[in-house]
């Protein structure tokens, strides 16, 4: 759906999967899953895009329980976490588990709306408010009435507009652009960012007063590399969903899940999901994992040497593991060369691999212990 706006065409996409839309907003309804989901339930949740955060690691069990508890309140929630950790899914879960679940869930990517259109898109406008405003237009706030408005990438909202947003949140009333009438709003606000909020406030990307208004609850989605067995669980769930969709019964080969476990997944669940899809398409019955280097590792930087890409926030232990495994891959699985290159003993390399719980096939592939 598109509409004329200020002489330009703006875009409003209506779909249930934001990743599949090009526009700044989605409007959808979601079913909530009743609790932790396994097996067939997990497959169905992935397929149907049910608001279900899969995961049985202590970190994810805690996050899911916390989200369900706070879902019933009217308080604002700010979701923080690296890209691909499931913030949008968490917002859907908050909505689906709330008393507002029968109302709309409106998801707006603040970074995808041109700065000069943000106010009109959020609060709406009256006919004649500006050239091209040929009819009255309801903004995202009004469309989310009775439901949840998810403001993604909130730190990308122009700072001047943040003061207006704060005012609407404080008063519960808005005025459309070009209008005078105050309109009461009944909307629950959930926001998300993958920036550190303290830095965003310090850099004046986010007003401090707005931050405190939006962050009654702050929920951090942990990176996938800290979720232990969830990596396997999610990989299996994504593969099962693909099998269901295509009437196949492919399964992972011996080493695939160990390799998945060993990778640090800088793109988190999104990267894993895409990796499983790619691996599924490229494999026959036994699915080998096709992990691709991140954008920074594929270039010829550092004088043509391969690189390891590490997001800020990884622990020293994770960084060490990633470097060791990347070096091992570079050395074709040869542990002695890996040890030489890293300047440690062969025993250290061997002990580390055992400590990572990497399955024997990877060790056997090294073939030189």
Q: In the complex, which residues of this chain contact Mg ion (CB under 5 A)?
A: 88
- Contacts (Cβ under 8 Å, ≥6 apart) of 360: none
Residues facing 78 on adjacent strands? 191, 218
Give start and end residues of each alpha helix (H) in 215-296: 230-246, 256-262, 268-282
By a kind-dependent CB cut-off of 5 to 8 A, residue 95 interacts, out of ligand ATP, Mg ion, none, with none
Residue with Cβ nearer Mg ion (19 or 159): 19
Residue 29 corresponds to which tokens in the numbers above? 């309804």
Provide the mask over 18-37, with x wherever binding to ligand ATP is found by CB under 6 A and - wherever it is not: -x------------------
Contacted entry of Mg ion, ligand ATP, none for residue 57, CB cut-off 5 to 8 Å set by kind: none
Nearer to Mg ion, 110 or 239 (CB): 110
Closest CB to ligand ATP among residues 88, 121: 88
105 close to 145: Cβ distance less than 8 angstroms? no
Nearest to ligand ATP by Cβ — which residue?
86
Give CA–CA dist 102/147, Å, rounded.
7
Q: Based on CB atoms, which residue is closest to ligand ATP, 279 or 338?
A: 279
If one asks whether residue 266 binds ligand ATP (CB under 6 A), the answer comes out as no
The site partner of 239 among ligand ATP, Mg ion, none (C-beta below 5 to 8 Å per kind) is none
The binder of 83, among ligand ATP, Mg ion, none, by C-beta within 5 to 8 A per type, is: ligand ATP
Q: Which of 23, 81, 103, 147 binds ligand ATP (CB under 6 A)?
A: 81
Among 21, 30, 78, 88, indicate the residue that binds ligand ATP (CB under 6 A).
88
SS3 309: coil
Query: Between β-strands 77-80 and 173-174, what pairing exists: parallel, antiparallel or unpaired?
Result: unpaired
Nearer to ligand ATP, 24 or 55 (CB): 55
- The single residue among 25, 67, 80, 89 that binds ligand ATP, judged by CB under 6 A, is 89
Minimum distance from residue 152 beta carbon to Mg ion (Å): 5
Binding of ligand ATP by 327 (CB under 6 A): no
Coil/strand/helix, residue 201? helix
Strands of the chain, DSSP E: 2-5, 8-11, 25-28, 77-80, 105-109, 148-152, 173-174, 183-184, 188-193, 217-220, 251-252, 286-287
Relative to beta strand 217-220, strand 188-193 is unpaired
Q: Of these, 43, 87, 95, 261, which contacts ligand ATP (CB under 6 A)? A: 87
| Minimum distance from residue 111 beta carbon to Mg ion (Å) | 10
89, interface contact from Mg ion, ligand ATP, none, CB < 5-8 Å by kind? ligand ATP
CA-to-CA distance for 308 and 319, rounded, in angstroms? 9
CA dihedral 198, 203, 207, 209 (to 10 degrees): 40
């Amino acid at each position: 759906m598109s509409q004329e706006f200020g002489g330009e065409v703006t875009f409003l996409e209506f779909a249930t999967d934001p990743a599949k839309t090009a526009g700044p907003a989605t409007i959808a309804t979601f079913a909530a899953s009743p609790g932790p989901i396994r097996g067939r339930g997990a497959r169905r949740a992935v397929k149907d895009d049910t608001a279900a955060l899969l995961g049985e690691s202590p970190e994810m069990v805690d996050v899911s329980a916390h989200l369900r508890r706070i879902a019933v309140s009217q308080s604002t929630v700010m979701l923080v976490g690296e890209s691909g950790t499931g913030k949008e899914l968490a917002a859907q879960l908050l909505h689906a588990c709330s008393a507002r679940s029968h109302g709309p869930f409106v998801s707006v990517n603040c970074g995808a709306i041109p700065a000069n259109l943000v106010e009109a898109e959020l609060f709406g406008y009256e006919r004649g408010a500006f050239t091209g405003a040929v009819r009255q237009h309801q903004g995202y706030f009004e469309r989310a009435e009775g439901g949840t408005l998810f403001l993604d990438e909130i730190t990308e909202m122009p700072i001047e507009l943040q003061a207006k947003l704060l005012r609407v949140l404080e008063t519960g009333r808005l005025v459309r652009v070009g209008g005078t009438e105050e309109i009461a709003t009944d909307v629950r606000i959930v926001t998300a960012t993958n920036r550190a909020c303290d830095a965003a406030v310090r850099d004046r990307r986010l007003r401090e007063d707005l931050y405190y208004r939006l962050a009654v609850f702050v929920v951090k989605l942990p990176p996938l590399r800290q979720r232990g067995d969830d990596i396997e669980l999610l990989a299996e769930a994504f593969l099962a969903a693909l099998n269901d969709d295509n009437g196949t019964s492919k399964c992972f080969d011996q080493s695939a899940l160990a390799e998945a476990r060993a990778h640090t997944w800088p793109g988190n669940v999104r990267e894993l999901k895409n990796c499983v899809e790619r691996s599924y398409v490229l494999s026959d019955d036994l699915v080998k994992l096709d992990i691709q280097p991140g954008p920074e590792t594929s270039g010829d930087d550092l004088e043509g040497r391969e690189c390891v890409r590490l997001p800020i926030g990884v622990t020293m232990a994770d960084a060490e593991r990633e470097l060791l495994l990347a070096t091992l891959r570079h050395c074709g699985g040869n542990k002695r060369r890996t040890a030489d290159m890293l300047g440690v003993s062969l025993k250290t390399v061997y002990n580390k691999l055992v400590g990572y719980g990497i399955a024997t096939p990877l060790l056997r592939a090294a073939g030189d212990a």
